[in-house]
Amino acid sequence: MQPEMQNQQPVFTGNTDVAVGQNKVLRNTYLLLAVSLIPTIIGAAVGTSLFDFSFLRASPILASFGILAVFYGWIYMIERNKNTSLGLYLLLGFTFFMGLLLGPLLQKVLGFRNGGQLVMMAAGGTAGVFFILSGIAANVKRDFSFLNKFIVVGVIVAMLAVVANIFLQMPALSMALCGVFIILSSAIILWQINDIVRGGETNYISATLTLYVSVYNIFTSLLQLLGIIGGDRD
């Protein structure tokens, strides 16, 4: 697949051409999002069965900040190269890395007697949320750009809470953060897809990155909540 990644607004001759261009960006975004799940699944399999995460438990605070640094540094590199094929490869590498990071959570949940069922429930719930929200964002005529300020403030507050909980390690705060990430990620999905449909976002690598992180956050948050509430240790 040879992507067209130039983040330039093409010159259209009419509304039909505009719609075609927007639909192409949306279609490519959905396709790349689906493809990005493949390295995620591979990374998750490696992280769950082959990777040793004992170093994370040895120094959890240092490891958490290290992961955050790699996470945001990788996102920065993708955004810098989103108009080139390098951006595509960086994105796929990023999704593999994110799959690896699922290892500790999956190991913990799969340790429950009903762990496999919980993973399937989280995956099904995530898919359901994404398809419902994407359908609303793509077909409702309302402009969801008003969510932008809420998202910016929400991301800042959520990240400050994440950093605080690295030190505090409060179970109640962890559960609250799961709920916050589900709500915030849902809002981001609505905003991003609506922005594509309205022609505001013309680069599907950047759009895919935003949607991928949102889907990933919803899945991990649901899985953590299900593990806390419904995990069967017997």
Over its C-alpha atoms, the chain yields an Rg (Å, rounded) of 19
Band of pLDDT at residue 15, cut at 50, 70 and 90: low
In a domain, 3, yes or no: no
Residue 80 in any domain: the answer is: yes
- pLDDT of 103 > 60? The answer is yes
Predicted TM-score (pTM) of the model is 0.89
Tokens of 217: 């956050």
Domain that holds residue 146: 15-230
Residue 2 in any domain: the answer is: no
Contact yes or no for 196/187 (Cβ under 8 A) = no
pLDDT tens, position by position, 132-156: 999 999 888 888 989 999 999 999 9
Amino acid 2: pLDDT:
40
Report the alpha-carbon distance of residue 87 to residue 93 in Å, rounded.
Answer: 10
Residue 5 placed within a domain: no
Average pLDDT over residues 180-188: 96
pLDDT category at 4 given cuts 50, 70, 90 is very low
Do residues 192 and 211 lie in contact, with contact meaning Cβ atoms separated by under 8 Å? yes
Binning the chain into helix, strand and coil, the percentages to the nearest 5 are 80, 0, 20
Within-domain flag for 94: yes
- Flag whether 213 is in a domain: yes
Q: How far apart are CA 219 and CA 121, in angstroms?
A: 10
DSSP 85-153: HHHHHHHHHHHHHHHHHTHHHHHHHHTSTTHHHHHHHHHHHHHHHHHHHHHHHHH--S-GGGHHHHHHH
pLDDT bracket for residue 128 (50, 70, 90):
very high
Number of domains observed in the structure of the chain: 1
Decide: 193 and 204 in contact? Cβ < 8 Å.
Answer: no
**Residue-wise pLDDT tens digits, 51-93:** 777 777 778 888 899 999 999 999 999 999 999 999 999 999 9
What local confidence, expressed as pLDDT, does residue 234 receive? 61
Task: Provide the greatest CA pair distance for the chain.
Answer: 65
Determine, yes or no, domain membership for 7: no
Confidence check: pLDDT of 6 > 80: no
Average pLDDT, the chain: 89
**From CA 189, how far away is CA 209, in angstroms rounded?**
11
Question: How does residue 118 score in pLDDT terms, banded at 50, 70 and 90?
Answer: very high
> Is the per-residue pLDDT at 8 higher than 60?
no
Residue 3 pLDDT: 44
pLDDT digits (tens, 9 = 90+) for 209-232: 999 999 999 999 999 999 988 777
Does residue 158 surpass a pLDDT of 60? yes
Answer whether residue 207 is part of any domain. Answer: yes
Please tell me the predicted confidence (pLDDT) of residue 12.
Answer: 43
Token representation of residue 31: 């396709």
Cα separation values, 185 from 25, 50, 218, Å: 21, 30, 7
